[in-house]
Structure 1
Amino acid sequence: MDTEGLAQEELDTSDEEEWSHGKTPSTQEIERTPEDRNAFMFRHNLMPSTPDLRDFHPLPSQIPFLLDVFQENVNLFLQSVHIPSTTKMIRDLRGDMTSLTPANEALMFSIYYAAVTSMEEEDVRLNFGSTKAELNLKYRLGLEHALAKADFLNVPDLVLIQALVNFLALARRHDSPRFVWMMVGIAIRMAMSIGLHRDGSNFPSLSPFEIETRRRVWWALCLFDVRASEDQGTEFTIAVDSFDTKIPMNINNSDIDPDSKEGPTEREGLTDMSISRVSIKTCELSKRMMVRGPKAPSLEEQDHMLQKIYQELDEGFLRFSTEANISYWVIVTVARLMVAKMTLFIYLPVLFSSPGGQLSEQLRTKLFIAAIEVAEYNHALNAEQACRQWRWIFQTYTHWHAIIYILIEIPRRPWSPLVERAWTALHSIWLIPTQFKMRKNLRVWFPLRKLMNKGTQHRESELNRLINNASAAENLQNEYLTMIQPSSQAHFPAGSNAAALFLEQWKQLVQFPTQGMRAHMAASSFQGHSATGSSKLASGAPEGINANSYTMTVPRVQLWQEGVEIGGSLDAAPSSTLDIPSNADKLEARPVEPSVGPAFQQTTSTSLDNFLSTQPADGETMPSLWTDDFIEQVDLGTLDNMDLDSDIDWYNWVESAKGMD
């Protein structure tokens, strides 16, 4: 059944039936303008009058720049908008925005909004002479009014869904996950109402351009559905096998245009769609991995799907790209992060359902390493200056499974270099969400504060124990040297070995003799792959690429914030100067000039307070989740009496926490 235009046909039919029977309408709804009918969606019915949309447009001279920013920062990953045809539309307007159709006007506002929201505060101020908050609100209001004017709920079309897709891609950065989840549901129903869940090849009347655009928009909604459902702990709105829309073709945007009569020939190698197709194929596998109920895949099947993500990435992107490309580094890092994250998703329920036995201990180590990888890869992506234009993507994720598991696991373990590494990763300024709205949910942080206190006390106790027990420290070192290590290396000094760096830091903390340390710290002393997979992507660099040249291609950040001294007294305040030990007999690493700051902070018992009060790069306010003003509002007696092992179902807590930021 051709569902194109179905919504409009039904609307027209219902109106005709009302009047054909000579009845007086029982409502004034049909007399209201689309702006009036849709104002409730965005609360604009509280405004005294409908504004003039011309007041919300940027200067004509600014539009090409905004389109370029949108293409580089947003559309590179989504490909929801065909840039050549949009550029032509803008050029043909010659600055007269009044000639835009309502749908195209909504699309333009979505591009303005997405472009500005994806930018950093200083970049917005430099290029527009306004604050990011001012322009963000201006273009969002313009988009909301334009959508209402286009009557998007009653007369959906492909362009309006494109506009909503662009908005939803960035809305997660400032809106609540619940709002995004609701709006994604609306967008999906709009898409289904015009048949996007059916491949366009089923409709002979559609042009090749329309068929391909429909595929891109539908799969963007599939990506949002996975993310929104994950946030809320709900089933997917788009069920697996409920649609037949094909994955977009591997083509360049220049291969197709609205006037094309014949479909393009699919290309081999890198195209404008390559990155988007990698995301789509990963999304498809994720949906199948996370199916619940009788059709849920087994652990073996899930693990196979996890490895297939690597295969898809290699076949569709890596073998055609070069490590000199920043997008190459980003895609590889995101893939590693995702595999580590999915490892937590798959195995945490198994661990919590079988708390005893050897299997649990093996799983605990596997998951501990995966959680460290998630935190470190997340830090690397956010801290890397060369990909700051995509930071908006990384900052919309809060990796609750990794945060909680590290906090739970640390007090269980003797304080080895691996635990010190996890503790350091926990202090990344990028790991905790930035939305100040989270302070409305203060009580949900009580267990986390308790876990943090427990971890701090355990660290101090363990370090004191190891300082006074050289034999125990030596045993931990020997065990560490034979362990499988986290694969996350990207944000450490070029040419260094992360496992060796943390061994050095740990040795200083426990005052362990460092004589002959060089032999212990050779890269070959450590296992060369992580616990999350054996694929080439689980290593420090993809197969066939020189690890040293790879790590130096893109500017890296140093492990500790510039100005922080490693080691020292447990009670010492953070130092003001950085000096990563350069002694040849201690550390085989070449310090490099930091390209981004700040990175990881000094991990003293008080560092989290300082860490969480740090301002993010875009000027948002970090929530002081662990600071003194927070503690004043907490019933510490309740915290002290809380049994973290029996009073809290941590897996369910994580599931509920994902939707609260």
Structure 2
Amino acid sequence: MQETHLPPRTAPGRSCVACKRRKIRCNREEPCSYCTKLGLQCAYPNAKQSEKERCTDDVMSRLQRIELLLERLDAKASISGSTSAQSTGDATPLDHGPLEDTYNSHRTNNGKLVLEEGDERFVSGSFWADLDATEEKDVRPVEPNISIPEYIPSVIANVFPGPRNVFLRSETEAKDLHQLHPSGGVLLSLWQVFVEGVDPVLKILHIPVTQRQLFWASQHLTEIPPAFESLMFAIYFAAVTTVQRPTCCLDLFQEDRQTLLRRYRLGVEEALAKANFMSRPNVTTIQALTMFLICARVSTDKGYIWSMVGLLIRLAMKLGLHRDPAELRISPFMSEMRRRLWWQIYVLDIRTAEDSDMDPFICDHIYNTHFPTNINDADLDTDMKHAVTNAQHRTEMLFTLLRVEVSYAAQKIVFSSNSAAGQKHPRLSLKVTNKFLQEFVANLQDKYFKYCDPQVPICFLAETATRMIVTKMKLTLYHPAQKSHSDVPTETLQDLVVQSIEIIEGVHILRTHDKYARWVWLFEKYVDWDAVAFLLNIISVVPSSVPLERAWDAIDVFFLDWKDRVTDSERWRRLEGLLMKASVSRSTPFCMLLRSDGDALAPTMKSHADYVGLDTAPLMLGPEVDVPPCHTTNESAATGEQSHIDWNFDNFLLAQDMPSWAMAVDGDPLL
């Protein structure tokens, strides 16, 4: 049988020269049908030559990229060299911050947000990110969606299943989150407590938007995305944290406080794990985790909080929260939400570092996010097109901005020399630091305090707490390990002693006064401990500098307040040792008890298992909350049931424009 010879074909995908020139389909025969029809000579390009040319083009393209990278590196090296040279000159105290244009000019690549498998991810000016910097088609601006985020299961998570709960609590695996939610009536009570007792001093959320989301979600529990569900449980947990008297919790929420704290902590953890927040974080899950850690810090093991804050910072940086949203082309509304969130994380880092006697994680050179804008929630809208400007009056952001300002200054003063070196802050002399603190307080007066009315409780609280923290920073400058008291002028030492006494007295008033009960929970932890330690040390070394009667009255009040509710046994033992040393010649019943029984002052320590929700204080809701049985009385001072003190303080506006409880909630969960 005669064989049939098929016409030879070139490699698939190649066209003859004529067809390629005419940009028509070639059947790749030799000759092809088009050339045969027109009587043209059919010729195909030389495959080897084409591959060689393509390889040459590819090499040239890579060389151009490498040249571009080298130019960028050379520019960065020049900037770094000039910066180092400037740092050896006369440094002005703490005058360079993230808000200055000079900082932005030192960064040639601030990174960008990219979309990767439907999620936002921040890429910085690393080697691999810079390789693709010229390919703008692969890196497009992200406009975050402010609606309740949808949950898209991760393929990798399904292929490599692991512990669903990042907190390693295996008993949460089988929990049904629907059963952990409160009933409708209790949810409304929790939300009201949150709005009045948490939001004014912890400004992370936009209340009108969150309220609409929350009410919609409460009616559609089976449809809630895990990310928003974690935020719901964080709101519940925060609300219960503020109501610290057990009987008040029973009246408001019909359940025991400890039970509620454990349940809602369980809900936060399980919802975060379900949202796969470590691999696929978003703004909502970071809001939930931040709020949970801030509230849990009031009564939880400091080592646990310290570890979790490190994780939180990494997740925030993965979302690009450390970069100002103006650089990332994000909407004005989401820009403000991201700034609020980043600076709450920043302050939490400062506070946990102080609690743990460590240096903060966050350094100035890794972020350039601007301070949140001084503006009310009512002036922010999800559809706004233009950025807002700072209001020249008191707003809901009062406490937040004061808290941020003080924390930013404290980072440069109260931590170790190693931290200052890592932050590239000059080590300032005592004279320069004192001058800086004076100018700092004057700046706060001009920006915030002049708009405050001392007769308004939240204004008095804000100014009092701020001045106490500034005084606390002064005490660190005269710490016995840093400076001998014999080197301190007598007048300065006496001023510090009086200020220390005023801190102790002021904190006690804030703890026990009805006007401030709703808000004290956040910053009521250890601010007075440093003052007591300083005072006891001065009494031991230079007793003539101390008004002894007033000083001992303040010290006695402090120890009676704290004796039965200490969570930091190490610091308590240090104070106990200072007290015993200072009370050698002291003849009060309290000090005699100390000398006769070394265990008399031993605090009632909580076990680690109890850290999920310590019931240590009777802080009440304010008079605006219409729950008569729970009104605070002065008996709290007698029972010693106060909450912790901490120099965490935030934001508030006296006349909040709260959304109506009757707000219509349609099918759209947001707006």
| Mapped partners of 1:372, 1:5: distance in 2 | 55
Q: Is the 8 A contact 2:113 2:120 kept in 1?
A: no
How far apart, in 2, do the equivalents of 1:155 and 1:139 lie? Answer: 22
- Are the counterparts in 2 of residues 109 and 140 from structure 1 also a CA contact under 8 Å? yes
Whether 2:585 is the aligned partner of 1:458: answer yes
CA contact (8 A) 1:269 1:320 kept: yes
How far has the Cα of 1:157 moved from its partner?
A: 0.7
Residue 251 of structure 1, aligned match among 375, 378, 402 = 375
Structure-1 separation of matches of 2:446 and 2:393: 9
Q: Provide closer, same or farther for how the CA distance between residues 5 and 176 of structure 1 changes in structure 2, counting only shifts above 3 A.
A: farther
**Which residue of the other structure, out of 283, 299, 302, is the alignment partner of 2:430?**
299
The correspondence of residues 141-180 of structure 1 with structure 2, limited to 5 A, is: 141-180=266-305
Q: 1:76 and 1:28 mapped to 2: Cα distance?
A: 40
Matched, 1:424 2:548: no
Deviation at 1:251, TM superposition (A): 1.3
Per-residue CA shift, 1:591-626, capped at 9, x if unaligned? Answer: xxx973455x8xxxxxxxxxxxx54157x9xxxxxx
Alignment of 1:639-654 (within 5 A): none
Distance 1:238 1:222 in 2: 7
Which residues in structure 2 correspond to 1:129-208 (within 5 Å)? 129-204=254-329, 206-208=330-332
Pair 1:449–1:130, CA change in 2 (3 A): same
Cα offsets for 1:317-339 (capped at 9, x unmatched): 32222222100110121022112
Q: How many angstroms does 1:265 deviate by?
A: 4.1
| SS in structure 1 at match of 2:587 | helix
Partner of 1:237: 361
Change (3 A) 1:221 1:449: closer
Change (3 A) 1:458 1:175: same
Q: Distance in 2 between matches of 1:449 and 1:173?
A: 22
Is the alpha carbon distance of 1:46 and 1:137 closer, same or farther for their aligned partners in structure 2, counting shifts above 3 Å? closer
Count of residues in correspondence between the two structures: 452
Q: Are 2:395 and 1:395 aligned?
A: no
Write out per-residue CA displacement over residues 29-52 of structure 1, whole angstroms, 9 at most, x where no aligned residue: 75355xx4342x3232255x4211
Task: Work out whether residues 116 and 124 of structure 1, in 8 Å CA contact, stay in contact via their aligned partners in 2.
Answer: yes
Question: Post-superposition shift, 1:435?
Answer: 4.5
Pick the aligned partner of 2:345 from 217, 221, 240: 221
Change (3 A) 1:28 1:45: farther
Shift in Å, 1:299: 2.1
AA paired with 1:406? L
Is the contact between residue 4 and residue 195 of structure 1 (CA under 8 Å) also seen in structure 2? no
Partner of 1:56: 180
Structure 1 residue 53: deviation in Å?
A: 0.3
Pairs within 5 Å for 1:440-519 = 448-460=575-587
**1:167 shift after superposition:** 0.6
Which residue is equivalent to 1:65?
189
| 2:163 matched residue in structure 1 | 37
- Partner of residue 318 from structure 1, selected from 426, 434, 449: 449
> Given the superposition, is the C-alpha separation of residues 148 and 99 from structure 1 closer, same or farther in structure 2, using an over 3 Å criterion?
same
Q: Deviations over 1:437-461 (max 9, x none)?
A: 545x5xx766544443343331239
1:616 alignment partner in structure 2? 641
Q: Compared with structure 1, are the counterparts of its residues 141 and 357 closer, same or farther at alpha carbon in structure 2 (3 Å cutoff)?
A: closer
Q: Is the 8 A contact 2:562 2:640 kept in 1?
A: no
Q: Distance in 1 between matches of 2:488 and 2:364?
A: 31
- 1:512-559 deviation line (CA, Å, top 9, x unaligned): xxxxxxxxxxxxxxxxxxxxxxxxxxxxxxxxxxxxxxxxxx99xxxx
Cα distance in 2, alignment partners of residues 386 and 9 from structure 1 = 43
Equivalent-residue separation in structure 2 for 1:6 and 1:295 (angstroms): 41
Distance in structure 1 (CA, Å) of the matches to 2:567 and 2:410: 29
Map of 2:475 onto structure 1 = 344
Deviations 1:153-196 (A, max 9, x none): 11111111110111112111121122111111111111100100
Looking at structure 1, the residues matched to 496 and 432 of structure 2 have their Cα atoms a distance apart, in angstroms, of 18
- Residue in structure 2 matched with residue 380 of structure 1 by the alignment: 509
Amino acid across the alignment from 1:65: S
Taking structure 1 as the reference length, what is the TM-score of the superposition?
A: 0.63
Equivalent-residue separation in structure 2 for 1:356 and 1:215 (angstroms)? 42
Pair 173,94 (structure 1): closer, same or farther in 2 beyond 3 Å: closer
Q: 1:247 aligns to what SS in structure 2?
A: coil
Q: Is the 8 A contact 1:399 1:431 kept in 2?
A: no
Deviates more, 1:367-376 or 1:175-184: 367-376
CA displacement 1:280-338 (0-9 Å, x = unmatched): 12222222334523623332332233223422432233222222210011012102211
Equivalent in the alignment of 1:645: none
- TM-superposed CA distance for 1:70, in Å, is 1.4
Gaps of 5+ in 1: 14-26, 462-553, 556-593, 602-613, 621-661
1:285 aligns to what?
Answer: 409
Q: C-alpha separation between the residues in 2 aligned to 1:377 and 1:86? A: 35
Name the counterpart of 2:217. Answer: 93
- Structure 2 spans left out of the alignment, 5+ residues: 1-110, 123-127, 129-154, 589-621, 624-631, 645-671
The one-letter amino acid paired with 2:472 is K
Deviation (angstroms), 1:369:
2.5
Q: Which amino acid aligns with 2:431?
A: E
Match of 1:596 in 2: 634
Tell me the CA shift for residue 112 of structure 1: 0.5
Closer, same or farther in 2 for the Cα pair 1:5/1:424, shift >3 Å?
farther
In structure 2, what is the Cα distance between the partners aligned to 1:5 and 1:300? 50
| Equivalence for 2:112 | 2
Shift of 1:267: 2.0
Question: In the TM superposition, what are the counterparts of 1:90-129 in structure 2 within 5 Å?
Answer: 90-93=214-217, 95-121=219-245, 122-129=247-254
Deviation of 1:125 after TM superposition, in Å, equals 1.6
| DSSP 3-state at the match of 2:411 | helix
495, 499, 520: which one pairs with 1:370?
499
- Per-residue CA distance 1:371-411 (angstroms, 9 max, x = gap): 22221222121111111112312333254322222222223
Residues 357 and 85 of structure 1, relative CA distance in 2, 3 Å threshold = closer
Normalising by structure 2, report the TM-score: 0.62
User: Using the alignment, how far apart are the partners of 2:319 and 2:574 within structure 1?
Assistant: 46
| Structure-2 change in CA distance of 1:302 and 1:595 (3 Å) | farther
Superposed CA deviations along residues 69-102 of structure 1, whole A, max 9, x for unmatched, are 2122222122101110011112333622222111
* Among 442, 461, 473, the residue aligned to 1:330: 461
Give secondary structure in 2 for the equivalent of 1:288: coil
Secondary structure of 1:3 counterpart: strand
Say if 1:447 and 1:149 are closer, same or farther in 2 by CA, change over 3 A: closer
Checking the alignment, whether the CA contact within 8 Å between 2:511 and 2:642 is kept in structure 1 is no
Q: Secondary structure at the match of 1:175?
A: coil
Separation of aligned partners in 1, 2:359 and 2:546: 39
CA contact (8 A) 2:121 2:319 kept: no
SS at 1:180 equivalent: helix
Letter in 2 for 1:298: S
* Structure 1 SS opposite 2:547: helix
Task: Measure, in 2, the Cα distance between the counterparts of 1:188 and 1:220.
Answer: 11
SS of equivalent to 1:292 = helix
The one of 359, 364, 375 equivalent to 2:488 is 359
